Structure 1
Amino acid sequence: MPQIVIENLFNLRINSSSVHRKVIEIIHENGIDWMHACGKKGRCTTCKIIVKSGSENLSPPTKPELDFLKLGRLKTDERLSCQAELTSGELVVRVGELNKFPHVAYSK
């Protein structure tokens, strides 16, 4: 069963019963606020995730992600949660400092 672990949300574990779903969809369906200024269209980087492990369980980077990588707006260990699909296994991520909401309590 695919699973997302968000380290700096107190190691919150989210199980998904389906595969090939966008990471942000899985997060939102579980009642977790996650920034997405462009409406989940891959036009900004506000929904980015910092991938700590499990990158092999994600779909290949999309054109918008590759473009942002070339522009230096994404690092090699970052993906857009609105573009990356969870294909299997466990994915461990963090919320970036610039992408944190002020109303959400985060852990270290």
Structure 2
Amino acid sequence: MSRIVIQNLFNREINSNAAHCKVIELIHENGIDWMHACGKKGRCTTCKIIVMSGSENLSPKTPAEEKFENLGRLKTNERLSCQAELISGEVVVRVAEINKFPHIEYSK
């Protein structure tokens, strides 16, 4: 069993038995709106997640993520949810302030 915990969405938990599933797909399958301006193709950073813990449970960074990190558009603890796959275990993430939707209530 794998789990994503979205800390600033009131610790919303997403549990999954699927292995190697994109983080954004798991989020969307659970009815949570999550920004993705480029259509989940790794061409922007609007779907980024801030990884608070469990980064070892995600797939290695993709070339797209490395490119954005080198350009200073992703910090070392940020991943693109459209690129990162949840391998197993738990990952705790946050929605970046810049990527929050106005129609969703967020917690601290």
The TM-score, its normalising length taken from structure 2, stands at 0.99
What do the CA deviations read for 1:66-100 (whole angstroms, capped 9, x no partner)?
00000000000000000000000000000000000
Return the letter of the residue paired with 1:100.
Answer: K
Return the letter of the residue paired with 2:58.
Answer: L
Structure 1: state its 5+ residue gaps. none
Equivalent residue number for residue 62 of structure 2: 62
Equivalent residue number for residue 39 of structure 1: 39
Residues in 1 aligned to 2:17 and 2:70: alpha-carbon distance in whole angstroms? 34
Return the letter of the residue paired with 2:92.
Answer: V
Structure 2: state its 5+ residue gaps. none
Residues in 1 aligned to 2:24 and 2:55: alpha-carbon distance in whole angstroms? 15
Equivalent residue number for residue 9 of structure 2: 9
What do the CA deviations read for 1:8-29 (whole angstroms, capped 9, x no partner)?
0000000011010000000000
How many percent of aligned residue pairs carry the same amino acid?
77
Q: State the aligned residue count.
A: 108
Residues in 2 aligned to 1:95 and 1:61: alpha-carbon distance in whole angstroms? 19
